[in-house]
Structure 1
């Protein structure tokens, strides 16, 4: 069941967090205008050649990755529920001179409107902490499949569900799959500030005061079987699935080992575990 009521609670929490997240990132427009790109190699490999492709970036946040897709030759539309994120993305597009369309909407009604209008895309893209905000994953995947052209691709790069079992100290705390939404009284955190600069591509991270979000949020945690099952049940063909023993940007645990290219992994001597996964699924 789609929980629009919880999506709206999350929208308010995201509005507060988004302002703080962007406060850590210096001169984003100048960075993009000069050829900077916020995408990591892993998603670019799954995305393939973007030149001339019609792409929709769902749950696009503040548009940095969306504009990075556009800079690689794609015609891109970004969609996000946060008012602050979309306002920032539109301004960033104008200031950087990189063209993209941005729409503020819950993705479910947006997808339904696209289907009703008969619009389809070459690529649907979602990444890094997107799926956990979707209350009905099965419905989402069927809607995504419906807006893909024949031969179109769904590309997803996400943080691994195994990592979500642990708290920030690396202690097993949460169930692998949760039938009920996970409620956080203290809402979306300043994970950009906590990343020690790994989520800041445009220069040295700008320090700020400790942020505590006064607005609660809800997450929807699922197993990898549920996620891959939703892809398969949508009618798409799973072409590629990859797991990574490191995390791009996000620092999931307090005690982590820094790697080159703004990545994190568990410390030496600690059992390795998957921290990210990538999915490529095709509409036949």
Structure 2
């Protein structure tokens, strides 16, 4: 049995990991900000010394892009220094570490999907702080998996799927960006892939998204179709959109490494969304 520390266990990926892991194979150490402050170096080191995890999965983060712009010190403290502190523990324990990252490390100006070998060029505080977190993990540990994903949705927290469904419940019309492109990715499918990866020694940086590409408007349309709800849905530019913060316009990641080493296939985004919607209905 391996011991896995999930930092940020109350977030959508932390929650999904707890849903899909096998408690007979994995002893889980769940912490969130109420239990442990990952920006406090001593607190993190003490937790690591006492519990000695084999794997650390960093699901923490300040992901609100507007908040990051308004409070850059907070963004860097959590997204960068938090990752550094967990990396120090990983190195001391000889543990593997999984660092969750984002397409926001790129500028979104490409016309083709980004691979793991493309240069990063973040244009936001959020993207810059996440890249700093990636760099700390690479600097402090060699047994690392840096996983970039995008348009992630899950059962907890504010995400695009839940926002669209809330609007539909109220019967509100929605204007949604038709000029933002990405690959909607279920937190549960991301969690399954992470659990697969930690049992390997295939260290490095990975792009992990569900397969297929759509714009935000198409994504919203599919959410409504699967929910059986009908509201007025308008395709608009980002600046006129109700739900889409200003983000990199082209957020498409190519799961290049996964493909060339033929290691793991992510499902199609529509099939993944259908599974998620069915589970919501069954609740």
TM-score normalised per structure 2: 0.33
The structure with the greater share of residues assigned to strand is 1
Which structure shows the bigger proportion of residues in helix conformation?
2
